Amino acid sequence: MTRLARTSVWPGISLAAGIFVVCLVLSLVLGPVSLSLSQLWHFVTTGPVPGDLQNAIFWQIRMPRVLLACLVGAELAVAGVILQDLFLNPLTDPYVTGVSSGAALGATIGIVLHWAQLPWMTVLALIGGFATLGIVWMAARRRGRIDIFVLLLAGVTISYLASAIVTVLMIQANQDMHAIIYWLMGSFSGRGWQEVEIALVAVPFMIVPLFFSREMDILLQGEKRALELGVEVERTKRLLLVTAGVLTAIAVSVCGIIGFVGLVVPHIVRLLVGPSHRGLLPVSLLVGASMMGIADLLSRTVIAPNEIPVGVVTTFVGAPLFVYLLRRGRKG
């Protein structure tokens, strides 16, 4: 009996991991105060040293910021993969479920109430995100099933509603308008270890989908076919929806709404390694982390000491790359 080897996903994952390491190193060494590789090695190996200014900049400012960017990028990319494949809709990004708008509303309330200090703002954003997920979830329940299209519509509707409330709050709270807009645009500026700790909570939620890659592959054929092939569709769908919701809520709560990564990274990775989730999920995770790391690097260096909003950079970096890959097509 001839048994052909399954196409391995490891070359793709290794390559993505390599790229991620390069991006991570670049993000850590470059900045208003650039470091040499040996300095980087020195700082990493010695750890935080009190009293050393350069060491403090590295450990207190740059390291948490870079880690946070990479974590958020990975979270959004994984959430994007999950939602695009659940909705079978290529235009889906992690924000369609309304979770991000809910989180934005929570954060805006925090700013207006002058609870803008951590952890309150993050907590309010998380509450807003989860409350929205709950509302959308209830709206989409039909006879014990989650109707994925109702969920999409409800998510978009709630998004608009939350955005409208945010607008009203912005107008009411004149003096806070700048803070709200800045938060909504999304940024890693001034974020520290506290945010990194929150973002780390999402790591298990990035791992969970990896165990469901086969189910997710089968779901690409639609829910009915998945049932026929033996997948417990409702259970899988719920688990994945909650996972994507948690990932999105956590990402938005620590850094605001950063667009494009969750939409475009899954597409780019599908073009590179194909739609099978054994490769798609881990590679998207790594590419999302790399892309966000580089985008944040550019946002803080291109017009230093000022910053370009990182969401603008992700779009500037991602759009041409995506168009190029679309034109080239998936490699044979």
Q: Which stretch binds another protein (CB under 8 A): 51-59, 95-103, 217-225, 284-292?
A: 217-225
Does 45 engage in binding with another protein (CB under 8 A)?
Answer: no
Q: Minimum Å distance from CB 221 to another protein?
A: 5
Cα–chain center distance at 163: 20
Does 233 engage in binding with another protein (CB under 8 A)?
Answer: yes
197 CB contacts (<8 Å, ≥6 apart)? none
Of these, 203, 204, 225, 320, which contacts another protein (CB under 8 A)? 225
- In 3D, which of 317, 286, 316 has the Cα closest to residue 77? 286
Count of residues touching another protein (by CB under 8 A): 28
Does 145 engage in binding with another protein (CB under 8 A)?
Answer: no
**How distant, in Å, are the alpha carbons of 54, 226, 245 from that of 216?**
46, 9, 17
> Bridge partners of 146?
141
Cα–Cα–Cα angle for 69, 73, 74, rounded to 5 degrees: 120
Question: Between 80 and 119, how does the x/- string for binding to another protein read (CB under 8 A)?
Answer: --------x-------------------------------
> Are 320 and 100 contacting, i.e. CB atoms less than 8 angstroms apart?
no
* Rounded Cα gap, residues 23 and 209, in angstroms: 24
Does 218 engage in binding with another protein (CB under 8 A)?
Answer: yes
Of these, 17, 213, 217, 322, which contacts another protein (CB under 8 A)? 217
Of these, 61, 87, 275, 307, which contacts another protein (CB under 8 A)? 275
Q: Minimum Å distance from CB 85 to another protein?
A: 8
> In angstroms, how far is the first alpha carbon of the chain from the final one?
27
184 CB contacts (<8 Å, ≥6 apart)? 104, 108, 166, 256, 257
Q: Which stretch binds another protein (CB under 8 A): 181-189, 202-210, 227-235, 307-315?
A: 227-235
Does 143 engage in binding with another protein (CB under 8 A)?
Answer: no
Residues that bind another protein (CB under 8 A): 1-4, 6-7, 88, 214-215, 217-218, 220-222, 224-225, 227-233, 270, 274-276, 330
